[in-house]
């Protein structure tokens, strides 16, 4: 059988880098501008859609659901803010809050499913639950401190996703464990 590339590396980078960029904005370190929209639509969204379609062909249901789901999170987020940026519509804090809470629930189920995968993936997803929850409640309540916390926590979450991507890449390229991923929390 012909060796296939591992598309999860690209998906983790799309998730991680987009999350870090948005979190730099949420933490007040950089201003929101068109770069975030472009990153959300193309690397967060389109790249992860491609990854999900590749994983579909490999029969990886978890990968399809996770990367496919998050690709649509990023695509809808980018489209929502593109329209607001162009002044086609407004973005309401309550609707954004509930949007993020729904994605938090989605992610919570991924956490349970991922406990048979490398430990770092489960930790990334647990941190994503905290990230989406803090940003969601922050948007619903107008609590700037929660949004700031989400920004700082998101830098860590996105950074850990980037770490996992590079660990998978280096471990595969070098044929040995260069960067650890951790044993699963439980056996399948």
Under the banding of pLDDT at 50, 70 and 90, the label for residue 4 is confident
Closest CA to 125 of 141, 142, 108: 108
Residue 180 lies in a domain: no
Q: Is residue 184 part of a domain?
A: no
Does residue 150 belong to any structural domain of this protein?
yes
* Residues 120/163, Cβ–Cβ less than 8 Å: yes
Q: Is 3 helix (H, G, I), strand (E, B) or coil?
A: coil
Q: Is residue 48 part of a domain?
A: yes
Phi-psi region of 161 (alpha: psi -120 to 50; beta: other; left: phi over 0): alpha
Over the stretch 148-182, which tens digit does the pLDDT of each residue have?
999 999 999 999 999 999 999 999 999 999 999 99
Domain that holds residue 78: 8-173
pTM of the model: 0.95
**Residue 125 resides in a domain:** yes
Q: What is the pLDDT of residues 88-109, one digit of tens each?
A: 999 999 999 999 999 999 999 9
Question: Would you state the structure tokens that stand for residue 35, as one six-digit string?
Answer: 């770069």
Q: Is residue 179 domain-resident?
A: no
Integer angstrom CA distances of residue 92 from 20, 35, 97, 117, 138:
23, 21, 9, 37, 13
78 and 44 in contact (C-beta within 8 Å)?
Answer: yes
- Residue 135 is assigned to a structural domain of this protein: yes
Number of domains forming the structure of the chain: 1
Distance from first CA to last CA of the chain, Å, rounded?
A: 25
Using one digit for the tens of pLDDT, what is the confidence trace for 23-72? Answer: 999 999 999 999 999 999 999 999 999 999 999 999 999 999 999 999 99
CATH number at residue 107: 1.25.40
| Nearest one of 85, 107, 103 to 25, comparing CA atoms | 85
């Amino acid at each position: 059988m012909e060796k296939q590339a591992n598309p999860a590396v690209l998906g983790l980078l799309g998730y991680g880098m987009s999350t870090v960029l948005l979190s730099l904005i949420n933490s007040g370190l950089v201003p929101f501008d068109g770069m975030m929209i472009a990153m959300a639509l193309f690397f967060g969204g389109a790249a992860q859609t491609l990854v999900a379609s590749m994983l579909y062909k490999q029969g990886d249901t978890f990968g399809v659901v996770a990367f496919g789901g998050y690709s649509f999170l990023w695509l809808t987020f980018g489209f929502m803010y593109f329209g607001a940026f162009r002044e086609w519509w407004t973005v309401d804090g309550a609707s954004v809050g509930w949007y993020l809470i729904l994605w938090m629930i989605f992610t919570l189920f991924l956490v349970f499913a991922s406990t048979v995968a490398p430990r770092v993936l489960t930790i990334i997803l647990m941190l994503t639950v905290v990230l989406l929850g803090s940003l969601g409640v922050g948007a619903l309540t107008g609590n700037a401190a929660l949004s700031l916390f989400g920004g700082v926590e998101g830098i860590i979450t996105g950074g850990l996703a980037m770490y996992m991507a590079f660990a998978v890449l280096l471990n595969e390229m070098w044929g040995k464990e260069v960067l650890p991923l951790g044993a699963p929390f439980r056996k399948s």
